[in-house]
Amino acid sequence: MRTRVKTELLMLCGLGTLALLGTNRKRLAILPAMASGYLVTQLLIESTTPQSFRGQSAVITGGSRGLGLALARELVNENCNVTLLARDEDELKRAKKELDKLNRGEVHIVVCDITDNVQLSRAIHEAADLYDGIDLLINNAGAIVVGPWESMTQQDFEAQMNIHLYATMNSIRVALPFLRQKTSGKRIVNICSMGGRVAVPHMLPYDTSKFAVSGFSQGLATELYDEGISVTTIYPGLMRTGSPIQATFKGEHEKEFAWFQSADVLPGFSTSARDAAREIIEAARQRRFELMPFLPAKLRLGLAAFFPELVAYTLVVLNRLLPQGQSGEYKTGAQSRETFDRSILTKIFKSSARSAEKESNQWPKTDAKENMGVLH
């Protein structure tokens, strides 16, 4: 039984003990009290023997920048051997150069479009051959398209499904034989999103694909549990990864970018990529079923669960405030940032955005269709 399951059982046993004592059923309270003692003992033992990723092999899709690079830093610092998969060779080389300076675990890079099954299979086999198998697979690669529903096409939805859902499914199919061969490791981490729990206007293709990833990942976790393979689904909220300049925008491009970029670095509502990565690696270590890093994301989900009508109406109001242009032209964030950079209203966020881009190896690009994969 996994650590977090024991923790939640401990909470239930504790509440049961208090409830029975409160109703003067002292004899019945003995059983949940004894169970609580047993669980506390088990948790104390586990806390003194944390598992390390030292010497293990990890594969990270989309590992050249953003959250993927932050995850790689954490693993390399634990002397884990990491293989990074991404489409941009220059990005991969910069990421490897930085990680090699840590002088800890080895770093291998493979140029790979994960939506191409042949390239994906080749890359994962290459990593397994180099490091004698795979202990940890992190499906992190992603893309975002932002704009009103009426500016979107079926191609936009298909592109988001390809990179978020189908590439995740295919990478797991290829990696499973190697994960099954291991006596340790046996971990899969799927990076989903709060957009896979509560949909946000102007991000419908993204939300749709992330809802699909959430359902697939949750179901897979139960099917692989008895094989000792953990599947952890991650639901991050806003993170300062510098990724808005890589997103694709439609509609009123500059206005869409301005609200999206501002939200991404909003103090108190976004977390750093480093902090998120540390929580994610710890969740993988504990073999948790899911993780929702950062308190605002948890509050948002809690509000949606208890006050669904109110949250839905709040999003209606948000939608009224968002840009209403319907242009179907594709532009990257880097091509859409002029209003954000020049407006006095967003000036306070500019330095945070630039800092996140630099730290996360985010370099401007101008091929929006290539960024989100609609060329396939």
Least confident of 54-63, 295-304, 351-360, 362-371: 295-304
Answer whether residue 179 shows pLDDT above 90: yes
pLDDT of residue 1: 63
Q: At residue 129, does pLDDT exceed 80?
A: yes
pLDDT exceeds cutoff 80 at 358: yes
Q: How far is CA 106 from CA 60, 99, 209, in A?
A: 13, 9, 33
For residues 230 and 2, what is the distance between their CA atoms, to the nearest angstrom? Answer: 10
DSSP 226: G
> Residue 45: what pLDDT?
64
> Which comes out higher in pLDDT, residue 131 or 42?
131
Average pLDDT over residues 197-217: 97
pLDDT in tens, 235-247: 998 999 999 999 9
Long-range contacts of 364-371 (CB under 8 A, 24+ apart): 364/245, 364/332, 364/334, 365/245, 365/246, 365/332, 365/334, 366/332, 366/334, 366/335, 367/332, 368/248, 368/249, 368/330, 368/331, 368/332, 368/335, 369/248, 369/330, 371/143, 371/246, 371/247, 371/248, 371/332
Q: Write the pLDDT tens digit of every residue in 185-203.
A: 999 999 999 999 999 999 9
Taking CA atoms, 197 is separated from 32, 37, 144, 193, 362, in Å, by 34, 35, 16, 7, 27
Say yes or no to pLDDT of 286 above 60.
Answer: yes
Q: Which of 153, 339, 147 is nearest to 249 (CA)?
A: 147
SS3 content of the chain, % helix, strand, coil (to 5): 60, 10, 30
Question: Are the C-beta atoms of residues 190 and 139 closer than 8 Å to each other?
Answer: yes
Q: Which helix (H) or strand (E) holds 332?
A: strand 331-332
Q: Which whole number is the average pLDDT over 319-333?
A: 95
pLDDT in tens, 2-21: 776 777 787 887 787 787 77
DSSP 162-205: IIIIIHHHHHHHHHHHHHHH-SS--EEEEE--GGGTS--TT-HH
pLDDT in tens, 100-113: 999 999 999 999 99
pLDDT > 60? residue 39: yes
CA-to-CA distance for 265 and 244, rounded, in angstroms? Answer: 10
CATH class of the 62-302 domain in this structure: alpha beta
Nearest to 188, CA basis, from 209, 160, 166, 217: 217
More confident residue, 42 or 27: 27
Each domain of the chain, given as residue ranges in start order, spans 3-47, 62-302
CA 192 to CA 196: how far, in whole Å?
Answer: 6
pLDDT of residue 48: 57
| Phi and psi, residue 114, nearest 5° | -70, -15
In this predicted model, what pLDDT tens digit does every residue of 73-98 receive, in sequence order? 999 999 999 999 999 999 999 999 99
Kindly tell me if the per-residue pLDDT of 50 is higher than 90. no
Q: What is the mean pLDDT of residues 149-160?
A: 97
Three-state secondary structure call for residue 271: strand
Q: How confident is the model at residue 298 (pLDDT cuts 50, 70, 90)?
A: confident
Q: How far apart are CA 200 and CA 202, in angstroms?
A: 7
Residue 14, number of CB atoms within 10 A of its CB: 16
Predicted pLDDT at 152: 97
What is the residue-averaged pLDDT of the chain?
92
Does residue 53 surpass a pLDDT of 60?
yes
What's the pLDDT score for residue 101? 96
**Percent of the chain whose predicted confidence (pLDDT) is above 90:** 76
